[in-house]
Structure 1
Amino acid sequence: MLIDLAPRMFVASPSLTRPRGASHRLLSEVLDLAGPETALVSHAERAWSSATFSGARHTIILKFAGAEAIECGEAFIAALPDHEFTVPGHLVADATIASVEQQYVPHPCLAVEAELLLLEDC
């Protein structure tokens, strides 16, 4: 899967500046783990359920631009699978790196696609 690394303009919404709900809490924790040099490219959520659990699968794409940011991105890749999330009333059952793309020209940049499964804690 190719990730579009083109620069984008983001406007902070109240929901991202003041996290509300489980989805926003999860996104906030992912961004904190990734570090301040991270740009959110996209966040998508789709319902997920099994015979015993329900929740949502989250796909988050982050961009790390510049040498220092790429180091943070590499640390994020290593830390995500074992990170203990604290989302009240929910459990992160799975956190994986789905894809990683790096470009060197014209500027060094790393794009990381993460998949997280957030389940409602019964």
Structure 2
Amino acid sequence: MMRPPLSSAATALLRALIERTGLPRDRILLREFRSVDWNSLSYSGERHEISLRLPPPDAEARADVLVDGLSENEFDIPGHILADIVVAAGPMKGEDGSIGIEIEALTLRNE
């Protein structure tokens, strides 16, 4: 079954998270990325669940860079505002020395 491509908000959010680690894109494993539409009376957007795995040898240091101050950081997401972002789980150390991190975020359309 073919999955639909990520939305523009999801793509920009993923790009910003990867850049924050300082690692090349091809060194980070995207384990899962789920986005669902989200609406309130005044706003519309998407809720995102992201699961990443950072490789050794410096996985712990890169994970610290990613999660340190994450909720206070501003992200450039064209046409959207990052309303909320939190580390939902992790950092979790794998047997191979990699680090797993799960992040949840809410993006709102900036209309």
TM-score (norm 2): 0.82
Q: Which residue of 1 aligns with 2:67?
A: 77
Cα distance, 1:28 vs. partner? 1.0
Q: Is the 8 A contact 2:59 2:97 kept in 1?
A: no
Q: Distance in 1 between matches of 2:21 and 2:31?
A: 13
1:23 maps to 2:13: no
The number of equivalent residue pairs is 103
Q: CA offsets per residue over residues 71-115 of structure 1, 9 Å max, x none?
A: 101111113211111112110000100001223x3x212100000
TM-score norm. by structure 1 comes to 0.75
- The aligned counterpart of 2:108 is 119
2:47 to 57, 62, 71: 57
For structure 2, the residue ranges without an aligned partner over 5 or more in a row are: none
Q: Is the Cα–Cα contact under 8 Å of residues 64 and 73 in structure 1 kept in the other structure? A: yes
Q: 1:38, CA displacement in angstroms?
A: 2.6
The sequence identity of aligned pairs, in percent, is 27
Contact 1:46-1:58 at 8 Å conserved across structures = yes
Computed over aligned residues only, the root mean square deviation of the Cα atoms, in angstroms, reads 1.9
2:66 match: secondary structure: helix
Find runs of 4+ consecutive structure 1 residues off by over 6 angstroms. Answer: none
Q: Which runs of 5+ in 1 are unaligned?
A: 1-14
Are the counterparts in 1 of residues 16 and 75 from structure 2 also a CA contact under 8 Å?
Answer: yes
Q: Does 1:66 align with 2:56?
A: yes
Task: Summarize deviations over 1:1-47 as a string: whole Å, max 9, x none.
Answer: xxxxxxxxxxxxxx78xxx8222112111111123143221111011
Q: Structure 1 counterpart of 2:9, which letter?
A: A
